[in-house]
Amino acid sequence: MNETALLINTALASGTTLAFAALGLLVNERAGVLNLGAEGMMLVAAVAGFAVALTTGSDTLGFAAAALAGAALAAVFGLLVIFLNTNQYATGLALSLFGYGVSAFLGVSMVGRTLSARETHAVPVLSDLPFVGPALFSHHPMVYVAMGLTVAIAWFLYRTRAGLLLRAIGENPEPAHALGYPVRLIRLAAVCVGGALCGLAGAYVSLVTAPLWVEGLTAGRGWIALALTVFATWRPARALLGAYLFGGVTVLQMNLQAQGVQISSHLLTMMPYVATVIVLALISRNVAFIRLNMPASLGKPFRPGS
Amino acid sequence: MLRLEARPVPSQAMALASPIIALVLTAAVAALILVGIGKDPVSGLQIIFLEPLSNRRQISEVLLKATPLIVIAVGLAVCYRANVWNIGAEGQFLMGCVGGGGLALWLTTQGIVLPKLVGIPLVLVAGMLGGLLWAAVVALLRDRFNANEILVSLMLVYVAQQVVNALVFGPWKDPKGFNMPQTALFHASLHLPPLLERTRLHIGFVISLVLAVLAMLFLFRTFRGFQLQVGGLAPAAARYAGFSARGAVWTSLLLSGALAGMAGAMEVAGPIRQVTPYLSTGLGFTAIIVCFVGRLHPLGIVAGGVLLSVMLIGGELAQSRLGLPNAMASVLQGLLLLILLACDTFIDQRLRWSRSTGPAA
């Protein structure tokens, strides 16, 4: 029983990174922009957050800096893709490569540094409950922020006028443009929100999960988050659930390694990536289902007046 | 106000000038970074961009590193022209190392000594098979399961690295290697013949040039190549003409996988001569940049491969001479691609000063 609680606990904790990134990417994909630069934004944000937390001693400032860094990189991507009409795939990929380089460059002096002792977080009273206490109520505050954000984004997308507009632009930007809405600015804003959330995801790795900095720290989580948006069919609640499932796969793999199961640790390390491929293939198999759920203008440039 | 408008015809001049403009701008940013970290920008730029071409030995190292870049990028050009986004060449390269390296290791440990003219081609073919099979997974999942090839090919890079690790930490570990995670050195008969004396440059460079020419013939002189490109540029037209989109996915992925695999085999049978966990230095990703810098054209890719190789080696030189972080090279690579894509905007668009007070874009 206790072990199950621990498994749930660690699955939530390690899934939170993916949750932030997938939620962010979901917002900009809902506006019709596909940003393959998630991994690059996460890495730069991870290093920025780590540096700020290291110098100020404040995790909060670290997360804020990471969100800013992610949003700034996303803004560069957005300007290129939305205003200069560059190819979204190539530009996102370029952002990932660039972000990898920049984070490695900036992080050189931070390799091997450690943050001040990490405090444990527990919700008073609730965390003393049997089973659910350790499973659900003794987490870093950002875990709850991710949960709250899921509700907030779902509410925004489906219950507000602005959310409706965002989804409408993601389906077809022409009518919104004809009605006089600044389609490209709205897309840029969505891209920046996506970048900021990828930033939080990156900082969650470098400040909470790891907590340290090494080159390539996020280890492909940005790409897994991109796959998660497909898995979630672009719905926030499913993205959160998917993130926890993948968090669980990662944890399971680590637990098996720790228990010295007679499987090569290299094969276990493959598990999250193999799982991503399999899940992606299974969910994509139903072409009509994907087409029905995917924002119709996803990845397509919008040139007003042409 | 300034606004972008479509050119009546895409500008050929801009298509060729764009990489040069991007290179100049990248160098300018590099100078700014150097100033920012308190290094002399002039000598810094000289070390990164010119020093690698300063003498025979350096040039041979540049061409050595350009070899896998060219081979991989030529394959990727076919993919990208067909609008198939294989970004996992790094993984296919690694599986090429596994295929080619595996055969070379087996021949070595079995004590089988083949004539060079038989052994080396076999190793290269084994590498191609490794890369091809890895890319076939992507093609299969894309074709049968509609799975996005970008994400699948990228995920398989991580899997491929773990396959390499599992082998060199496990069954392939050299029993006489002091427990180091690496295979035994391959028998001398399996090493690629050198091209220049007293350098590491090997015959693979010539092969890469031949492959570039063959790819050109394929793309621009065969019906299959034409079909692929129509499919990439105008999917609807290709469908109407009865060109198979599925065939394009398979052809382009298998071809690029095989080439990336061959590049891997050339690396393990060339400068490395064994399989280690550190085969992957991001060449498969750099090749993507080479591909775009070379305008997706095999001849341009040869030039792009040399350019990116200069920047990689220049980055290493800057590390040892100026104490710059090694990551400087990857920052500049990423920057080059970002700036290049921005410049490419002006191939089929132009800036116009318009006085009209009509609705702004």
DSSP calls for A23-35: HHHHHHHHTT---
In a domain, B240, yes or no: yes
Judged by DSSP in three states, A264 sits in: coil
CB B337 within 8 A of CB B289: yes
Contact A285/B334, CB-based, under 8 Å? Answer: no
Contact B342/A102, CB-based, under 8 Å? Answer: no
Average pLDDT estimate for A263-268 = 83
B317 torsion bin: left (phi>0), alpha (psi -120 to 50), beta (else): alpha
Query: A257 at the B interface (CB within 8 A)?
Result: no
In a domain, B66, yes or no: yes
Minimal Cα–Cα distance from A119 to chain B, Å? 33
The H-assigned helical ranges of chain A are 2-30, 38-56, 59-78, 88-107, 132-136, 141-159, 161-171, 173-178, 183-204, 221-231, 236-258, 265-284, 287-293
Q: Which of B29, B79, B142, B154 to mutate to test the interface with A (most CBs of A within 10 A)?
A: B154
Measured CA to CA, the distance from residue B339 to residue A103 in angstroms comes to 18
Query: B32 at the A interface (CB within 8 A)?
Result: no
Q: Is residue A243 scored above 90 in pLDDT?
A: yes
Minimal Cα–Cα distance from A274 to chain B, Å? 7
Measured CA to CA, the distance from residue A98 to residue A103 in angstroms comes to 9
Q: Is residue A66 scored above 80 in pLDDT?
A: yes
| Chain A residues with beta carbon closer than 8 angstroms to that of B6 | 303, 306
Judged by DSSP in three states, A223 sits in: helix
Contact A281/B342, CB-based, under 8 Å? Answer: no
In a domain, B18, yes or no: no
Domain count, chain B: 1
Between residues A118 and A84, the one the model is more confident about: A84
Three-state SS letters, B173-226: CCCCCCCCCCCCCCCHHHCCCECCCCCCCECHHHHHHHHHHHHHHHHHHCHHHH
pLDDT band at A98 (very low <50, low <70, confident <90, very high): very high
| Chain B residues with beta carbon closer than 8 angstroms to that of A306 | 6
pLDDT for position A306: 54
pLDDT band at A117 (very low <50, low <70, confident <90, very high): low
pLDDT for position A113: 87
Tokens 């050929």, residue? B12
| Chain A residues with beta carbon closer than 8 angstroms to that of B145 | 281-282, 284-285
Minimal Cα–Cα distance from A96 to chain B, Å? 8
Query: A246 at the B interface (CB within 8 A)?
Result: no
CA–CA distance from B154 to each of A227, A271, B131, B151 (Å)? 11, 14, 14, 5
Name the fold adopted by A2-293: ABC transporter involved in vitamin B12 uptake, BtuC (1.10.3470)
- The nearest alpha carbon in chain B to A269 belongs to B162
Minimal Cα–Cα distance from B338 to chain A, Å? 6
Contact B155/A224, CB-based, under 8 Å? Answer: yes
In a domain, B10, yes or no: no
The H-assigned helical ranges of chain B are 12-36, 41-45, 56-81, 89-110, 116-145, 149-169, 204-221, 223-233, 235-240, 245-267, 283-293, 298-322, 328-344
Q: Is residue A286 scored above 80 in pLDDT?
A: yes
pLDDT for position A132: 80
Contact A95/B326, CB-based, under 8 Å? Answer: no
pLDDT for position B355: 67
Contact A95/B4, CB-based, under 8 Å? Answer: no
Minimal Cα–Cα distance from B117 to chain A, Å? 36
**Residue A46 DSSP symbol:** H
Average pLDDT estimate for A174-188 = 95
Residue B137 is part of which domain span?
59-327
How is residue B32 written in tokens? 């700014």
Measured CA to CA, the distance from residue A278 to residue A289 in angstroms comes to 17
Minimal Cα–Cα distance from A112 to chain B, Å? 16
Contact B325/A104, CB-based, under 8 Å? Answer: yes
Residues 6+ apart with CB under 8 A from B332: A101, B26, B29, B30, B48, B311, B315
Contact B87/A80, CB-based, under 8 Å? Answer: no
Average pLDDT estimate for A260-265 = 76
Tokens 């943050």, residue? A115
pLDDT for position B360: 47
pLDDT for position B361: 44
Of the candidates A236, A235, A239, A229, the residue with the CA atom closest to the CA atom of residue A280: A229
| Chain B residues with beta carbon closer than 8 angstroms to that of A276 | 151, 155
Q: Which residues make beta-bridge pairs with B4? A: B351
- Contacts with B, A 287-306, CB within 8 Å: 287, 290, 303-306
The 10 Å Cβ neighbour count of residue A241 is 17
Give the mean pLDDT of chain A: 91
Give ∠ CA B185-B186-B187 in degrees, rounded to 5.
Answer: 120
Contact B345/A87, CB-based, under 8 Å? Answer: no
How is residue B296 written in tokens? 């997706």
pLDDT digits (tens, 9 = 90+) for A147-175: 999 999 999 999 999 999 999 999 999 99
- Contacts with A, B 164-183, CB within 8 Å: 165-166, 169-170
pTM for the full model? Answer: 0.94
Helix (H) or strand (E) holding B353: strand B349-353
CB B138 within 8 A of CB B255: no
| Chain A residues with beta carbon closer than 8 angstroms to that of B148 | 227, 230, 280, 284
pLDDT, mean of each 10-residue run, chain B (361 residues): 82 91 96 92 94 94 97 97 96 98 96 94 98 98 94 96 94 90 94 91 96 97 94 91 92 97 97 92 94 96 97 94 90 95 90 64 44
Judged by DSSP in three states, A235 sits in: coil
CB A184 within 8 A of CB A190: no
pLDDT band at A130 (very low <50, low <70, confident <90, very high): confident
Taking the CA atoms of residue A134, residue A139, residue A145 and residue A148 in that order, the dihedral angle to the nearest 10 degrees is: 0
Question: What values do phi and psi take at A215, rounded to 5?
Answer: -60, 135
Average pLDDT estimate for A95-122 = 87
Q: Is residue A205 scored above 60 in pLDDT?
A: yes
Of the candidates B38, B36, B134, B43, the residue with the CA atom closest to the CA atom of residue B93: B134
Minimal Cα–Cα distance from A236 to chain B, Å? 20
Residues 6+ apart with CB under 8 A from A217: A43, A46, A47, A103, A205, A206, A210
Which range scores top for mean pLDDT: A32-36, A55-59, A254-258, B276-280? A32-36
Average pLDDT estimate for A112-117 = 79
Question: What values do phi and psi take at B202, rounded to 5?
Answer: -120, 175
Query: B330 at the A interface (CB within 8 A)?
Result: yes
Q: Which of B331, B350, B356 to mutate to test the interface with A (most CBs of A within 10 A)?
A: B331
Contact B147/A304, CB-based, under 8 Å? Answer: no
